[in-house]
Homo-oligomer: A and B are copies of this chain.
Amino acid sequence: MPRPSPRYAQAPALVAFGSAVRERRLALGLSREALAHEAGIYRSYMSSVKRGCQSVGLVLAAQIAQALDVTPAELVAKARL
């Protein structure tokens, strides 16, 4: 089970990023499992990202963006960050 980022859990930026990931995933018709697999990330980590409980590092954010077929900058912009 990933260590959530307790210190930053539910920080507005993380909640916004989690929503942007979910929005894009749904737009592509991807399941959570498929997105996690495509990004090479544990499903449990991905669900903590979705809940805004994970201060995703740049490397993993880039992996998630690639799996969502957007650039990391586009994904961060979708989160209006």
Measured CB to CB, the residues of A under 8 A from B are: 5, 8, 11, 13-14, 17, 55-62, 65, 71-74, 76-77, 79, 81
Contact = CB atoms under 8 A, between A and B. Distances in A.
Contacts of A59: 5, 8, 11, 13-14, 55
A55 B55 contact: no
A13 B81 contact: no
Contacts of A76: 58, 72-73, 76
Contacts of A61: 58
24 contacts: A8-B57, A11-B59, A13-B59, A13-B62, A13-B72, A14-B58, A14-B59, A17-B58, A55-B57, A55-B59, A55-B60, A56-B57, A57-B57, A58-B61, A62-B81, A65-B81, A71-B77, A72-B76, A72-B81, A73-B73, A73-B74, A73-B77, A73-B81, A76-B76
